[in-house]
Amino acid sequence: MKKVQQQTPPWLKPLLEATFFDECQAHGNAKNNQCKYYCLQCIGNPFCACCLDDHQKHPTIQIRRSSLSNGVKTRDIGEYINLCAIQTYVANGKDIVFLNARPYTGRPCGVINTCAICHRSLPTADFKFCCLSCKRDAIYRGFPEETFTVEPKLNTCELNDNFQVNQLLAPERQQKIRKLDILVSKSTVMATSIAKEIPVNVSPTTPPMFNHMNSRKRKGIPRRAPLT
């Protein structure tokens, strides 16, 4: 439990429980007075665009409304929290994640992939949770693979470039790079296992069928003589 608290940012719970898009009390007459900003340093109430000046050097995020639910651009929040395994959606051309689970009715037919916590159907099989709060709940329930800890900013291309350059550098530097390399391959493994993961309440999967036809390598495929 202690580990869970350590890796959960202090602003997450207040953010998930906050009410957005109310009118700002301080800027009732202003045009942009909807409280749709949140300061991850002050961890207070949401505020409007006019209040942004008070948080100039603070990490702030803007909440977006999509399908009547609150989301945040992955680009905005991704540097403060690990969004791995959370379903992303496109809103106004930008990737967002939803803050909280959205209500839904029933489980549509033929849906295989659902949120591991609230069982809402997910459009793609690459994700386990429909929103930030479902991932938070998973971490609290002890899902071993999930984390909110942000890994160092790396992408494979950058790493490969660096690796080539750094091969000529001091051994300790090389070691560092190698560590990063391991990190990246670890996250790849994680992503793969995520894709294979099944929701918790579903009975264990049957082992994959062993294909005897393919496993036996025949020397030659009997061919029929062409019909005359």
Least distance from Zn ion to the Cβ atom of residue 88, Å: 13
Which residue in the set 51, 84, 132, 194 belongs to the binding site for Zn ion (CB under 5 A)? 51
The size of the interface with Zn ion (CB under 5 A), counted in residues, is 17
Which residue in the set 9, 55, 62, 140 belongs to the binding site for Zn ion (CB under 5 A)? 55
Task: State how far the Cα of 32 lies from the Cα of 28, in Å rounded to an integer.
Answer: 9
Q: Does position 118 bind Zn ion by CB under 5 A?
A: yes
Least distance from Zn ion to the Cβ atom of residue 197, Å: 14
Q: Does position 184 bind Zn ion by CB under 5 A?
A: no
Site string for Zn ion, 65-104 (x = CB under 5 A): ------------------------------------x---
The answer to whether 86 and 132 have CB atoms below 8 angstroms apart is yes
Q: Does position 111 bind Zn ion by CB under 5 A?
A: no
Q: Does position 27 bind Zn ion by CB under 5 A?
A: yes
Long-range own/partner contacts, residues 1-6 (CB < 8 A, 24 or more apart): 4/139, 4/140, 4/142
Q: What stretch of H or E contains 193?
A: helix 171-196
Which 3 state secondary structure label does DSSP give 50? helix
**Residue 121, class by beta-carbon neighbours within 10 Å (0-12 exposed, 13-18 middle, 19+ buried)?**
middle
Which residue in the set 3, 17, 41, 202 belongs to the binding site for Zn ion (CB under 5 A)? 41
Q: Does position 42 bind Zn ion by CB under 5 A?
A: yes
> Closest CB to Zn ion among 27 and 176?
27
Long-range own/partner contacts, residues 63-66 (CB < 8 A, 24 or more apart): 63/20, 63/21, 63/36, 63/37, 63/38, 63/99, 64/36, 64/91, 64/92, 64/94, 64/96, 65/20, 65/21, 65/36, 66/91, 66/92, 66/96, 66/98
> Closest CB to Zn ion among 78 and 129?
129
Q: Does position 24 bind Zn ion by CB under 5 A?
A: yes
Binding site for Zn ion (CB under 5 A): 24, 26-27, 39, 41-42, 48, 50-51, 55, 58, 101, 115, 117-118, 130, 134
